[in-house]
Structure 1
Amino acid sequence: MTAHAPVSPGIPPSPRAAHRPGRLRGSIRRRPLTWFFALAYGLSWVAWTPYILSRNGIGVWDFTFPGGQGASQLLGVLPGAYLGPITSALLVTGVTEGRAGLRTWRARMTRFGVGWRWYLVVLLAVPGALALASAVLAARAPDVPSAAILAAYLPALLAQLVTTGLAEEPGWREFAMPRMQSRYGTLTATFTVGVLWGVWHLPLFLTEWGGGPDVAWIEPVQFVATTIAFSVVMTWVFNKSGESMPLVMLLHCGVNNYVSMAWSDMYPSLPDRYASHAFLLASAVAALVLLVATRGRLAGPPRRKAP
């Protein structure tokens, strides 16, 4: 049993102490988006600090995360990714909407029934668009991936879904987009989330994840430009599919999986930075086509009118 200091029965607790939890809860309920973004950034950036300070980053801390580049990134990056967007979304949803909000969150996260054609299009369109963009930049046709790469492609994609996809998209798309679209409109929501999603990654450019610590300034700038353009595509898929998070996660992870698994095998003579150039080119073209085709609506809901 834990001992407690005696409390005089004649002296009530201070109003400040009594109402502090209520004030915090009230602040979260009044500003759920502000709290979500602040928590997503704060939790991730604090958790990434050891990785950034280690020899995998700027080298202030005399420690190297084990397992080589791939495993060290999982150990250094993934914990912060899980602590950021998805944890923040669950916390703020639980405080502001309770069990009903968490049920809505779960319904979007398990909305698999969007038709097999959607999955086929996303599975084929992502590597197809990236391969085409890479071919334009390289001015040549790609090499055929090896049998080992083709065999490992789908298993690696599943691994991406439960790491990158599950860590990020339940926050940026599932939590932020519906609230921002209804309040600010689809385009404002899309560009805002695109910027915040990209900037959230910026500390990682001080590490091997982003080619750091001595990365050129153009690399993070290009990355944020890419997240803005790609967010247009993500928003359209999110809205058009009835807010199906499995499909959105598949779209996001399809890019990561192609770049990490197939790109270097198809374009072995190109520098690694060309993969980022290809992603930006493919995203920008797709975003422009969707903005023109939908007249900027991106299949979004009408903006909520102010009372």
Structure 2
Amino acid sequence: MTVTTSPPQPQAGTPLRTRVRRRPLTWFFALALSMSWLAWTPYILSGNGLGVWHWTFPGGAAGSQLLGVLPGAYLGPIGSALFVTGMTEGRAGLREWRGRMTRLGVRWRWFLVVAVSVPAALTLASAALTGRAPALPPAAVLAACLPGLVVQMVTTGLAEEPGWREFAMPRMQRRYGPPVAALVVGLLWGAWHLPLFLTEWGGGPGVSPVRPLEFMVTTLAFSYVMTWVFNRSGESMPLVMLLHTSVNNYFSVAWTDLFPHGTVEDTTRALLLASVLAAAVVLVVTRGRLGLAATPG
């Protein structure tokens, strides 16, 4: 007598896994914001923020941001992306995620173009706003650019972009298309930063409401530029991270020496001006596709 056996059936997931699989984007965005905000609470309440707690993070502005901001930055976007990927795709999905994170996707010329065009665009925007030509920076500033960029890649780039771009953007684009995806991700990416405006990172409790509003417009516009680079480069995460961190590195390392008479408001508005103009260009030139190849049909 021949006994036939049916192939093993996949086991049902846990209730939590099932819920995450049904709405991965909702889970990612909710966790990215709430986990970072929760981790930032001590920094916001400390002497570096609202002053509710009579304790200040050590190390000055740079040290306090590393200790107060960076843990929440890592816990939010990249932590949420890893959690949701693991829950929805398992170990195989996490291995693929790691491979995508290290995939260059484009020739080295792209990296050179980004590394040069970002400071060039921001210098032109700053000169237009301040009405002054940039000064010649000291050799020490030029020497610090590359090490500063490496630090920014490890901190800002690695903390944020694996979540907002690598995880969220492809899923959003498949469902809503590039313009809407860039809009939603840009708004949530900007909103994620908002509690930090209560700290020295963003100006503190007395900061003018105009500043976070300008920041939100900037992140929204820059999201379209980031989306275009992400799509056009074949989703090269190293290149996307370079684009993001080149902005931070320019203002952290070089801007003060290039424009010694400039103000903090000038930096904010220079980035706003450059981002809005660049977003307008890529939207017009790509007719709203933002570099995403048309689906054959």
Q: Say which SS state the counterpart of residue 41 (structure 1) adopts.
A: helix
Q: Deviations over 1:196-253 (max 9, x none)?
A: 0000000000000001121110111110100000011100000010000000000000
Q: 1:270 aligned to 2:244? A: no
Secondary structure of 2:14's match? helix
- Tell me the distance in 2 between the aligned counterparts of 1:299 and 1:101: 25
Q: Specify the alignment match of 2:67 in structure 1.
A: 75
Distance 1:290 1:42 in 2: 32
SS in structure 2 of the partner of residue 111 of structure 1:
coil
Aligned to 1:108: 100
Match of 1:253 in 2: 245
- Structure 2, unpaired ranges of 5+: 1-11
2:39 matched residue in structure 1: 47
Percent identity of paired positions between Structure 1 and Structure 2: 67
- Residue matched to 2:17: 25
Give the secondary-structure state (helix, strand or coil) at the position aligned to 1:61: coil
1:185–1:302 Cα contact (<8 Å) kept:
no
Aligned to 2:164: 172
Could you tell me how far apart the structure 2 residues matched to 1:184 and 1:95 are? 23
How far off is 1:113 after superposition?
Answer: 4.6
CA distance in 1: counterparts of 2:90 and 2:176, whole angstroms: 24
Q: Which runs of 5+ in 1 are unaligned?
A: 1-18
Aligned-pair CA distance for 1:112: 2.0
1:82 alignment partner AA: Y
C-alpha separation between the residues in 1 aligned to 2:63 and 2:296? 45
Name the CA distance, whole Å, in 2 between partners of 1:145 and 1:241: 32
Residue 220 (structure 1) aligns with: 212
Contact conserved, 1:198 with 1:228, CA < 8 A, in 2? Answer: yes
Which amino acid is 1:108 matched to?
A: R
Q: Counterparts in 2 of 1:1-307, with a 5 A limit?
A: 22-302=14-294
State whether residues 184 and 303 of structure 1, in contact with CA within 8 Å, keep that contact through their aligned partners in structure 2.
no
The TM-score with structure 2 as length reference comes to 0.94
TM-score by length of 1: 0.91
Q: 1:304 to 1:273 in 2, by over 3 A?
A: farther
- My pick for the range that moved more, 187-196 or 295-304, is 295-304
Query: Does the Cα contact within 8 Å between 1:197 and 1:227 map onto a contact in 2?
Result: yes
The answer to whether the 8 A contact 1:182-1:303 is kept is no
Report Cα offsets for 1:28-68 as digits up to 9, x if no partner: 00000000011101110000000000000000001000011
**SS of corresponding position for 2:291:** coil
Q: Deviations 1:55-84 (Å, cap 9, x if unpaired)?
A: 000000010000111111111000000000
Match of 2:201, SS state, is: helix
Tell me the CA shift for residue 107 of structure 1. 2.0
Is the contact made by 1:165 and 1:250 (CA closer than 8 Å) also made in structure 2? Answer: yes
Partner in structure 2 of residue 10 of structure 1: none
Structure 1 residue ranges, 4+ long, deviating more than 6 angstroms after superposition? none
Tell me the C-alpha RMSD between the 2 structures: 1.4
CA distance, structure 1, for counterparts of residue 91 and residue 128 of structure 2: 50
Query: Structure 1 residues 298, 289: CA separation in 2 closer, same or farther (over 3 Å shift)?
Result: same
- Does the 8 Å contact 2:105/2:235 carry over to 1? no
CA distance in 2, matches of 1:113, 1:303: 20
